[in-house]
Structure 1
Amino acid sequence: MTRRSFHRAGEAERRNDLIAATLDSISEHGLEGATVRDIAARAGVTGGLIRHYFAGKDQMLQAAYREVLASMTETAVAALDEVGTDPHNRLRRFIIANVSPPIADPKALSLWAAFISRVRSDDEFARIHRENYLTFLGILETLIYALLDAQGRRPEPDECRKLAIAINGLIDGLWLESSLASDLFVDQSLQQIAIDAVEALLGGQFLKNTPASA
């Protein structure tokens, strides 16, 4: 176990450090094994200080789950800064980011798997999951609309929502594949598979001649 150096910091930084220590503990011990004592030791603080930021372990776990989901979405959105305004390039880059490291990562998958069982049994976990899911769909819908609009179409919101749901499902599946068994795809790029599949969903013409490595 790595003990985190807990220097004097602002309120937000201290809270973020505690969430990071919570995620480290969950990654190593699972939800049940991630005790407040272990988290405090990793963060280099007392249990009393933890109670200053969180009412209890459940609230810490909820904050940690929110961080896992938000960080993946934020990483994918940040990848859009690497491309210009062309809607083809933006949608392509967003898809690639979601099936590539650091989003597609064994640790990220293990954390997600540890948390997901709580979504069906805990109302707050369900709310966090739904909130992030709708945010992600909204981003996809915006990217899809821009691409279809560039093709001279004026898609209805319902069409963009259906396409976003389908593409999100595709991304989720390939994210699992990449996180669990990336070594099986040495000869076949999951990124290009994702691009080809999304192209098919969008009518087989919008992402032609745009290499996944770009």
Structure 2
Amino acid sequence: MKLTANNIDNRRHYLFMYYIVEFLSLNGMRIGELLAIENENVDLINKKLTIDGTIQRKANSKGQYGVKDTTKNLSSYRTIDLTNRSCEILKSCMLENKKAIQWDTRYTDRNFIFTNYRGNHIYFHRVNEALEKARINLNIKNKITTHTLRHTHISFLTQMGISLKTIMDRVGHSDYRTTLGIYTHVTNQMKNELINKLEDIEQKELL
């Protein structure tokens, strides 16, 4: 979609869509939390990210769209560890923003990392629109949203054997039942896969 975009603004848009989708999958954040990331929230040396707010869809005192507000709840305020790839994504976005500050007079630096060509946060629905286009292009039947990617991250961690408490801390869940629902679904799938593999072994031994 980026390669076939018809102008530089759309190419930037789809490049950032790509980064957002991957970053959400790698870190399990809410979309509002991701869009609220500011430069000072990022510690690339120690590979850590402080999540301390969410974007509210309203104009600030200057008429700029998108205002950073406090996190959803107390447990949503957290510092998470980043993978090398997550750090690469952040550095790439920061570099694109620096180029826009230098060369594009339309861009206003508001200190956010995941921005559109004007320096405002990318609108929530535009991310879901890009996901829907990609889903159709790839002939994927199930609906995919930014929240799907959050669940994907929790599923990955569950499959890796990470404890329920550690997953809750990473994704900022205050109610264990929210995490437990996904955790239980995945572990039940893993149990079924285990039985199927054991059945396969038994069948081979009989042969």
Class of the TM-score when normalised by the shorter of the 2 chains? 0.3 to 0.5
Pick 1 or 2: higher relative contact order, CA cutoff 8 A, min separation 6: 2
TM-score w.r.t. the length of structure 1 is: 0.33
More helix by share: 1
Greater share of strand: 2
Please, what TM-score do these two structures have when normalized by structure 2?
A: 0.34
